[in-house]
Amino acid sequence: MTDSTPPVDMEKDAAISNDASHSPPIMMKKGVATKLLEHSHDADAAMKAFEGMHGQVVELTEEKSKALLRKIDMHLMPIMCIVYGLNYLDKTTLSYASVMGLKLPHSDNKLKSGINLVGDQYQWLGSMFYFGYIAWEYPTTRLLQRLPLGKYSGFNVFMWGTVLACFAAVENNAGAIAVRFFLGVFESAVTPGFTLLTSQWYTKKEQGSRTAIWFSFNGWAQIFGGLVAYGISVGCRKSGTEIEPWKIVFLFTGLLTASLGLLFLWIIPDNQFNCRWLSKEEQILAVERIRMNGQGVGNKHFKMYQLKEALLDPLSWAFFFYALIADIPNGGISNFFSQLIVGFGYTAEESLLYGTPGGAVEVVVLIACGWAGDRYGYRVLISMIGLCIAILGMVLIVALPLSSNSGRLAGYYLTQASPTPFVALLSLISSNVAGYTKKTTVAAMFLIGYCVGNIIGPQTFRPGDAPRYVPAEVTIIVCWSVCLGILAFIHFYCVWQNKKKAQIRASPEYIKLENQEWLDLTDRENPEFVYTL
């Protein structure tokens, strides 16, 4: 493969032609020739790499592609999976601590010392994480674009682990609020960062299953966290300790995360071109294998027209409203699941252990739906199965009598299938949003919706509704039902857009520009871009 075409940018969907002397490309629309943007620095980083090839042929055979994919998986997926699992565990450590003494009045008796949470302070403590998250979400997505992706992501992993460990030192509600706020600030980089990493290294057909795999470690974290919290609780009860059990949980999870943040910095590259575990030839091949995505590997230049396009695109707002509505249930359940299980008739210590099978349900459903979505090509529709399972679970919790402890517990386990569409949409931000400024903007919108939903969620679990929390549970069912309609819209909108693009490509005037994939075009302006369903 050779490259001699100057990088350009395009402002609208159009047929494109380029003369033999490689003069600035011309956009043809309604017989009017319009010069496109001539600045080569606006192209993707991949274009600059191929400019230096000087006519060399790069051959990516199927055998080389498979071997390269195995190498990429071996280096990226383990650390991404573990870190993302800790991302979930670190947020939900508060739920474990709530039944391990955190809410007790502070006293001189260390074994019974908490921070004296009263009234709705615990609900606001759950929401405060997302105030930090939402405050820093857009700035952090811009920094993910401007700064080296791997280094900036690793820095945030280290910092959120350090901040979490500091929770063990708090002695009142004000200190806890400060820690939760800054925990949200540093964790706000992980999901958009991982979405960018996935789109940077994997083809569209691989992104759904890879996103499902690293996101499924939320479930593994729930299993791991429950077992760790249960072990600490039992050990402290039997042997005694100088430190309160809830503080040990925060120290353990925080220091573990900070340590893995340093490992993340060492392993994860900023892009293919500074990857220490790939040879020079493999770096070029790693870029070539994602050419079909039409998205490149990264562009550090902010483009106002892409920001405007993101804000005017119906698909962007469908992502936003799904995240907002779907995460009202998530915000409530993730902060109150231990207390819900106690409300089913189990002890506080039992709730730590009995919450773990929910993580297994999440892992199985996420991986199954992620694989099936990539295998059969209907990622959104298949993800709706997980949401239907979750709705069934919540109906069981609401409808079954208080005496049916095991049935209501089983209903809780089924609710853990609810993240399936959220993961599918994360993978669609990787697959279906092109243009680096647009992609980071849509990712920020999606996660701002996620934050708002998670802020609202804990407030639906009012102390006066305990132990059943029926109003909150009915709210969850309504939210998930609305989300099914949003998912159907996303699917059919992408189908419609693909038909429109097919008509443009079928036009006799349409000519594909060489290396068009590396021009940092948005999904809407690139006629070659095909939306994944």
CATH number of the CATH domain containing 74: 1.20.1250.20
Instruction: Please report whether residue 15 resides in a domain.
Output: no
Instruction: Please report whether residue 49 resides in a domain.
Output: no
Alpha carbon distances (Å) from 321 to 140, 152, 419, 487: 21, 28, 15, 10
366 close to 216: Cβ distance less than 8 angstroms: yes
pLDDT of res. 103: 67
Instruction: Please report whether residue 282 resides in a domain.
Output: no
Domain interval for residue 330: 62-270+290-505
Model confidence over 236-293: pLDDT tens digits?
888 877 788 889 999 999 999 999 999 999 999 998 888 999 998 898 888 888 877 7
Instruction: Please report whether residue 52 resides in a domain.
Output: no
pLDDT of res. 452: 92
Instruction: Please report whether residue 371 resides in a domain.
Output: yes
Instruction: Please report whether residue 32 resides in a domain.
Output: no
For the chain, helix (H) and strand (E) counts, in that order, are 18, 3
522 close to 434: Cβ distance less than 8 angstroms: yes
DSSP letter for 515, please.
T
* Cα–Cα nearest to 519, from 23, 201, 147, 45: 45
Instruction: Please report whether residue 259 resides in a domain.
Output: yes
**By CB neighbour count within 10 A (0-12 exposed, 13-18 middle, 19+ buried), where does 360 fall?**
middle
State how far the Cα of 359 lies from the Cα of 379, in Å rounded to an integer: 22
531 close to 500: Cβ distance less than 8 angstroms: no
pLDDT of res. 85: 93
Instruction: Please report whether residue 492 resides in a domain.
Output: yes
Inter-axis angle of helices 436-459 and 304-312, nearest 10: 50
Alpha carbon distances (Å) from 9 to 41, 42, 492, 526: 10, 7, 29, 10
* Cα–Cα nearest to 200, from 429, 373, 441: 429
Low-confidence ranges of the chain (pLDDT < 50): 1-41, 108-111
Q: How many domains does the chain have?
A: 1
The pTM for the full model equals 0.79
